[in-house]
Amino acid sequence: MAAKQSNKNRQAVLALGALGVVFGDIGTSPLYAMKACFSGHHAIALNPANVLGVLSLIIWSLLIVICLKYVTFVMAADNEGEGGIFALYELVSHKGRRRSASFMLFAAMIGGALLYGDGVITPAISVLSAIEGLDVVTTAADRYTPHIACTILLALFAFQSSGTDKIGRLFGPVMLVWFTVIGAFGLLSAVGNPEVLQAFRPYYAVRFFAENGLAGCMVLGAVVLCVTGGEALFADMGHFGRRPITLAWYCIALPSLLLNYLGQGAMLIRDPQAILNPFFSIFPKFLTLPMVVLATFAAIIASQAIISGAFSLTAQAVHLGFVPRIRILQTSKDNPGQVYVRSVNWIMAALCIFLVLYFKGSEHLAGAYGIAITGTMVITTYLFWFYLRRVRNCPWILAAVLTAFFAVFDLGFFIVNFTKLAGGGWFPLLLAGLIAYGMTVWIWGRAKLREQLQARGLEVSDLEPEIEKYMLAKVPGEAVFLSASEFVPHAFLQHLRNNRVVHEKLVFLRVNTSSEPYLDAHNRISLKSIDKNIYWMTVNYGFMEKPNLSLILVQTWNQLGLSSTDSYFYIGRMQLRFDKENQKHLLRRKIFILLSSVAEDPLDYLRIPAEKVISIGTAVKV
């Protein structure tokens, strides 16, 4: 009985944490979603019929896209508890034909790149929307809004290096207050116009399209803002688990959001002038300033969640080989998912500030936001098809019906948002294109480099004849040569052929990244003997884990009869040189060399003590 109660308490605590981290993005959508439907380039006429139509679209978007697609189905497609586009790609990529695997890889890169766009836009639009609440109090604040927003964003990004542990405990309670307040005042506003409850009938959504035609379809580009953060439910699943996220969604987040949107709709029916800021209009004027403060905190929390998500995404991309190894700092000893990536942090900060100064208002930024969200939604549905067919062995008719149903909504939102290219939609597409192209170049360059090294490499079975051919003497001591492939390390071949000596004990060590996020300790090390006193050791890590060879080797050395004090690590360092005689892929090769130059030192990445390392350089033309 006590154990059952303890589990319930734990689930409640996790649900509260999920409320602060996972639902921060979607929880702040009421700040700008309703306003965007009746303002901007594709604004629809503000009348009671259209208000009911837009409300119906918002309600059914939340129910179908979030409740049905993500919470019910997509979150079931976890990779050992981990979620997100890269985790889903790893789950399905090893179960199919090579051609479809290439399409999946491309889709995963685009989806990941769009998530970076989302990570840049979310802080900008959330903080801007919150600060714009000051306009309800005084119009004099309008010209200072971008500057206030930039100051808050700069402080937010500057604080990232300390990690989320210090403020993490505040996330849940603050967002609980936020959801309670926006739900309560939404209910009070809706009571004055109970006819808004009719919006739960899909009839009003259908009638909205019938009466407004193409103009009504264009409003979908703003309606989609109500489901921002849907990907966060999936991406952050590994931090909290499916059950706590589901509990927080159905018990707190969803009811509060529905009540708030109904309240905003009721307010617009009573007073069309409230369209200037429908969210803050449902609150009494004396509460406007406190609500601006609370909304700013909620926006910062929403921003924090998506920024942390970008760091986790980067860690996954590094381990999967999509981007160069860059320095990733762990900010929590207890939670491996809490990481900080300095370079990504400040690039995102610069882009956020650029967006605020360029667009100046949340209304103009909404178009840019929509494309980033909907593009990711489409790709998740595409990968989910492969999950149904290849992982769950679902009959193709059932899989086709389900994914086609989701695709109707995803593609509808995505296509409509393309009409906003000139109004800001170009930004996430440009950013995603550059990031995806960089990933493509990195994967292509690594493959070409691997081909070169394999052509010059040596099979393990041919090692003994090679040693007999070149070795003049054995020297005392133990040497560990790091290998990047299944071939004999090139550093060892250089050492053997140039120095003509071999150590008494040799270990060829390869670090391998698994398609699973985390590996059991029993599957960490694979060890086999090649010859007397020559071993091949493979250390396996999940794609969510960071290597720590120092710890692993201490555990293994006794088994091999080696002394950690007498062992030295030999690492091959490739010096990439541009091949001027080769006229093919000039831009690709230059970018690959540039990306290689920013890669983290393997000593830091693998956590090998620098005083025990001997480097052997190799010049390679690309």
Instruction: Provide the b/e sequence for 492-504 (b: ≥16 CB within 10 Å).
Output: bbebbeeeeebbe
Structure letter (DSSP) for residue 608: -
Res. 135: pLDDT tops 80: no
Confidence of residue 100 (pLDDT cuts 50, 70, 90): low
Tokens of 409: 């909504």
Mean pLDDT, range 539-568, rounded to an integer: 72
Tokens of 506: 């040799």
Instruction: Give the residue, 61 or 311, on which the prediction is more confident.
Output: 61
Res. 47: pLDDT tops 80: yes
Res. 406: pLDDT tops 90: yes
Return d(Cα 575, Cα 65) in angstroms, integer: 49
Res. 234: pLDDT tops 90: no
Instruction: Give the residue, 479 or 79, on which the prediction is more confident.
Output: 479
pLDDT for res 190 = 94
Q: Are the C-beta atoms of residues 259 and 183 closer than 8 Å to each other?
A: yes
Return d(Cα 464, Cα 227) in angstroms, integer: 62
Instruction: Give the residue, 469 or 81, on which the prediction is more confident.
Output: 469
H-assigned helices in 62-144: 85-93, 98-131, 134-137
Stretch among 6-15, 153-162, 415-424 having the lowest mean pLDDT: 6-15
Structure letter (DSSP) for residue 401: H
Instruction: Give the residue, 558 or 536, on which the prediction is more confident.
Output: 536
pLDDT for res 166 = 56
CB count within 10 Å of CB 170 equals 12
H-assigned helices in 249-287: 254-270, 278-281
pLDDT tens-digit series, residues 465-511: 888 888 878 888 788 888 877 788 888 888 888 888 888 888 888 88
H-assigned helices in 471-601: 490-499, 549-560, 586-597
The amino acid occupying position 162 is S
pLDDT for res 335 = 57
Structure letter (DSSP) for residue 43: P
Structure letter (DSSP) for residue 79: B
CB count within 10 Å of CB 223 equals 25
Q: Kind of pairing, strands 473-483 and 339-340?
A: unpaired
Res. 608: pLDDT tops 90: no
pLDDT tens-digit series, residues 317-347: 887 788 888 877 766 655 555 678 888 889 9
pLDDT for res 141 = 61
Res. 582: pLDDT tops 60: yes
> How far, rounded to the nearest angstrom, does the alpha carbon of residue 374 sit from its chain's CA centroid?
15
Structure letter (DSSP) for residue 157: H
Confidence of residue 558 (pLDDT cuts 50, 70, 90): low
Domains of the chain: 12-444 (1.20.1740.10), 456-621 (no CATH)
Mean pLDDT, range 136-153, rounded to an integer: 76
pLDDT for res 462 = 81
Average pLDDT, the chain: 82
Confidence of residue 95 (pLDDT cuts 50, 70, 90): low
Instruction: Provide the b/e sequence for 70-91 (b: ≥16 CB within 10 Å).
Output: bbebbbebbbbebbbbbbbbbb
As a whole-number percent, the residues of the chain with pLDDT over 70 amount to 88
